[in-house]
Amino acid sequence: MKMMSLLWTKSLLFLLPIPCLCSSQPSPPLLRFSAFLDHSNMVFMRWDHDEEEMMTFELQVRTVGWVAFGFSPHGELPGSDIVIGGVFPNGSIYFSDWHAVDEENLKEDKSQDYQLLSLTEDETFTTMRFKRYFQTCDPNDLDITGDTTRLISAFGTNDTVQFSKGQRFLKSLFLMRVTSPTELNEPQIFFTYDLKLNDFPIPVDETTYACTFIPLPILKQKHHIYKFEPIITTHQNRLMAHHILVYACGNGSVLPTGISDCYGADPDFALCSQVVVGWAVGGGSYQFPNEAAISIGTPMDPQYIRLEIHYSNFDLIPGLIDNSGIRLYCTPDLRPYDIGVLQTGVFTFPVHFIPPGADSYKSYGLCKSSQFNEMNGTPVPDLKVFGFLLHTHLAGRGVKVVQYRNGEQVRIICEDNTYDFSLQETRDMKEVITIEVGDEILVECDFQTLDRTEITFGGPSTLNEMCLAFLFYYPRNNISSCMGYPDIQQIAHALGQEASDAMEGMIAMNYVEWNNETIKTAEKAAKEADQIVMIKTIDVSVLCLYLAEWLGDGETRSSLEFETKEKEEPGDYRPVSLTSIPGKLLEQ
């Protein structure tokens, strides 16, 4: 604090001339994106970016005192890059680029990399518009990237800047948005349809996955679902619904009724695996690009959905009644293409493990698409991928999805190196990319378990882990998921453990003495091990064992071999049972 005030009076005060807003000047460009940065709607931000890699921000804060805005490395104050400005009572303005050296003190940057565009104040608001490049050359500034950013905002009630005494907020946001709501077509004719729970009593448990099956509207002709909007019940200003997933189901005849634990005693409540929309805390509504939408109302289309609401009731509050869900927007005004969703990543079950005490541990799941035509029934057209949703649980720090063709890396399809569990949302790709049959898709997830003393296993609870990437594409095909996992026996052997089958391999992980060396050995073995690839269609499942040999950094691999295959009867929407995996991975 002292240091701050000291510096403040000594060096600072860039007294800038108030920019001329004369009528002859063009009005400032419209900023396409906006969000509140706090819970009580005091700090409103608009932003936009351009071809020159310049990001423009406008902060409108409910105060006549100082306002601050900046970027934090992972949510903490030390190392944050902060800009502070305001208007003195006499009309002079101040604006300057700072960085936080520790929890208490800010220091002014030698290199001033934020350019002030305007700074005004009325009785209620201070409005500060400024811009900066994604990358500056100042080590005290943080780069603006395509990852999730942690934004810090703060303000005080007067113009004596005391950063640590102001109100301060932290919010995760994805800044590199591409499409603004105004660029999307709203159809002339539409109706809404709510998929939600009715007066659901939230269990007094830390984690609940509530699932129910809801019929989609019955329609005489094909319609398109073009937009989703969250319907969230708040409980004394708290959000209990943590995330919501909507899965498409075929025919309702095999589905259970009522509401139950998604991953509990009745496995039928986990039926249907194709995610069509995801919402998570911090997310808003999502609308598909103009050329495509989800088809309903034809015999090929889902008739039911599974609504999965993940509640976090960490304070074990009793008696909460919830009516959360998702609102669909449907139109008979059809777009050129139907949308499909491909689930890729690490198959979610306990063969996926993460050692304790790891600063960084990477997991790999491979999708090999060479069997797609056979499984689909007809040749699969190229997948035009326009959006993605990344999903891990609490230990996840990053997710990367990489595409390979003929053993060569084609591109990183999408990534988030500063993943935030509380911000899972569908994001648009910068440009539509193409996946061809035969391509491989590798999903790499980075986990941190420094706070854990036990192994974390793959599984549905928030205390377990997942490593998933949902790719949104058109035109749709029948494949719903394509996921892999490394052969755990090979990992066990690399760690000097005996394991004659996968079950033993899994158990063997408990006997490993985990330190940074064994963690690295396990990670390397998991990366280089054969992958068992599992492909599911909307109504059939096939299990394929691929022998993957990864060379170097995973950039090239020998061709993968197709080994075994099992089919379920068409019409059975049950996910492939885990016991059908060769090697008896799970004895039930």
Count of H helices and E strands in the chain? 5, 41
CB-nearer residue toward ligand NAG: 165 or 567: 165
Q: Which stretch binds ligand NAG (CB under 6 A): 150-158, 262-270, 284-292, 561-569?
A: 150-158
How many other C-beta atoms are found inside a 10 Å radius of the C-beta of residue 301? 18
DSSP state of 567: B
Cα gap 469→400, rounded to integer Å:
9
Q: Which of 515, 558, 564, 579 touches ligand NAG (CB under 6 A)? A: 515
Q: Which of 90, 188, 257, 588 touches ligand NAG (CB under 6 A)? A: 90
Q: Which stretch binds ligand NAG (CB under 6 A): 32-40, 155-163, 315-323, 395-403?
A: 155-163
Nearest distance, CB of residue 259 and ligand NAG, angstroms: 21
CB-nearer residue toward ligand NAG: 508 or 585: 508
What character string, x for contact with ligand NAG (CB under 6 A) and - otherwise, covers 360-389? ----------------xxx-----------
Q: Does 253 engage in binding with ligand NAG (CB under 6 A)? A: yes
Nearest distance, CB of residue 215 and ligand NAG, angstroms: 10
Catalytic residue list contains 391: yes
CB-nearer residue toward ligand NAG: 96 or 477: 477
Spot the catalytic one: 99, 224, 352, 391.
391
CB-nearer residue toward ligand NAG: 33 or 514: 514
Q: Does 192 engage in binding with ligand NAG (CB under 6 A)? A: no
Cα gap 269→125, rounded to integer Å:
50
Nearest CA to 461 among 511, 411, 393, 516? 393
Amino acid at 295: S
What character string, x for contact with ligand NAG (CB under 6 A) and - otherwise, covers 560-579? -----------x--------
CB-nearer residue toward ligand NAG: 288 or 404: 288
Nearest distance, CB of residue 285 and ligand NAG, angstroms: 27
Q: Which stretch binds ligand NAG (CB under 6 A): 30-38, 248-256, 499-507, 576-584?
A: 248-256
Q: Which stretch binds ligand NAG (CB under 6 A): 432-440, 459-467, 511-519, 528-536?
A: 511-519
Regarding beta strands 292-296 and 337-338, do their DSSP bridges make them parallel or antiparallel, or are they unpaired?
parallel
Q: Looking at beta carbons, which residue is closest to ligand NAG?
A: 377
Cα gap 492→490, rounded to integer Å:
5
Q: Which of 274, 344, 426, 478 touches ligand NAG (CB under 6 A)? A: 478
Q: Does 298 engage in binding with ligand NAG (CB under 6 A)? A: no
551 in Cβ contact with 407 (< 8 Å)? no
Task: For the chain, state the CA radius of gyration.
Answer: 26
Q: Which of 192, 298, 510, 516 touches ligand NAG (CB under 6 A)? A: 516
326 in Cβ contact with 246 (< 8 Å)? yes
Regarding beta strands 479-486 and 340-346, do their DSSP bridges make them parallel or antiparallel, or are they unpaired?
parallel
Q: Phi/psi at 96 (nearest 5 deg)? A: -160, 155
Q: Does 158 engage in binding with ligand NAG (CB under 6 A)? A: yes
Q: Does 450 engage in binding with ligand NAG (CB under 6 A)? A: yes
Q: Which of 14, 36, 88, 193 touches ligand NAG (CB under 6 A)? A: 88
CB-nearer residue toward ligand NAG: 304 or 421: 304
Q: Residue 551: CA atoms inside 13 Å, Cβ hemisphere, count?
A: 8
SS3 of the chain: helix, strand, coil, percent, to 5: 10, 45, 45
- Is 188 buried (19+), middle (13-18) or exposed (0-12) by CB count in 10 A? exposed
Q: How many residues bind ligand NAG (CB under 6 A)?
A: 25
- Which residues 6+ apart lie within 8 Å of 503 measured at CB? 583, 584, 585, 586, 587
Nearest distance, CB of residue 377 and ligand NAG, angstroms: 2
Subset of 414-443 contacting ligand NAG (CB under 6 A)? none
Nearest CA to 106 among 168, 162, 35? 162
Q: Which of 5, 34, 92, 448 touches ligand NAG (CB under 6 A)? A: 92
Q: Which stretch binds ligand NAG (CB under 6 A): 26-34, 86-94, 274-282, 420-428?
A: 86-94
Q: Does 11 engage in binding with ligand NAG (CB under 6 A)? A: no
- DSSP for 134-185 reads SS-S-TTSPPP-SSEEEEEEEE-SSSS--GGGSEEEEEEEE------GGGSP
Nearest CA to 11 among 135, 155, 112? 112
Spot the catalytic one: 94, 209, 304, 364.
209
Nearest CA to 426 among 216, 228, 274, 588? 228
Nearest CA to 1 among 180, 223, 161? 161
Q: Which of 11, 40, 124, 157 touches ligand NAG (CB under 6 A)? A: 157
Q: Phi/psi at 269 (nearest 5 deg)? A: -75, -5
Subset of 25-84 contacting ligand NAG (CB under 6 A)? none
CB-nearer residue toward ligand NAG: 116 or 545: 116
Q: Which of 198, 234, 251, 290 touches ligand NAG (CB under 6 A)? A: 251
CB-nearer residue toward ligand NAG: 307 or 522: 522
Q: Phi/psi at 64 (nearest 5 deg)? A: -110, 10
Q: Does 476 engage in binding with ligand NAG (CB under 6 A)? A: yes
Catalytic residue list contains 224: no
Long-range (24+ apart) CB contacts under 8 A made by 507-515 are: 509/353, 509/355, 509/455, 510/455, 512/355, 514/355, 514/356, 514/357, 514/455, 515/357
Q: Which stretch binds ligand NAG (CB under 6 A): 1-9, 232-240, 483-491, 512-520?
A: 512-520
Where do runs of H (alpha helix) occur along 337-384? 372-376
Q: Does 238 engage in binding with ligand NAG (CB under 6 A)? A: no
Cα gap 36→571, rounded to integer Å:
46
Nearest distance, CB of residue 94 and ligand NAG, angstroms: 8
174 in Cβ contact with 427 (< 8 Å)? yes
Polymer length of the chain: 588
- The CA angle 404-406-407, to the nearest 5 degrees, is 60
Residues at the contact surface with ligand NAG, assessed by CB under 6 A: 88, 90, 92, 156-158, 160, 162, 165, 251-253, 357, 359, 376-378, 450, 476-478, 514-516, 571
Task: Report the catalytic residues.
Answer: 209, 391
